[in-house]
Amino acid sequence: MSEFLVSASPWIGATGAVLTTICWLPQAIRVVRHEDTRAISLTANLIFGLGLICWLIYGIAIVDWPLIGANAISVVFTSVIVAMKLRYG
């Protein structure tokens, strides 16, 4: 692996963590504002949420703060979406 890639990898990882975390924020805001969840798959969001929890546990096990932070925030956003889906159908 090139020296540049090795030195840039923490920034690349952090950027990826930020982008994949905030990507759920617009969906969560939209669901809360409009109370419309008809187009959202409960099954997909539950599976995704379980995956996030697995990543969170893994991050805790290896004490990787970017992994912990990104997945903890994503769990919150996904939980809001699932809760609203359960409430509004």
Residue 17: what pLDDT? 87
- Please report how the helices 65-88 and 25-34 are oriented relative to each other, as an axis angle in degrees rounded to 10: 20
Helix or strand or coil: residue 41?
A: coil
Report the percentage of the chain scoring pLDDT > 70: 99
Contact in structure between 28 and 81 (CB atoms under 8 Å):
yes
- The mean pLDDT value for 78-82 works out to 95
- What's the CA gap between 57 and 18, in Å, rounded? 18
User: Is the pLDDT confidence value at 1 over 80?
Assistant: no
Report the percentage of the chain scoring pLDDT > 90: 67
**pTM (2 decimals)?**
0.83
- The mean pLDDT value for 52-70 works out to 94
Rg (CA), the chain: 15
Find the distance separating the first CA and the last CA of the chain, reported in whole Å. Answer: 48
Name the phi and psi angles at 68, rounded to 5: -65, -50
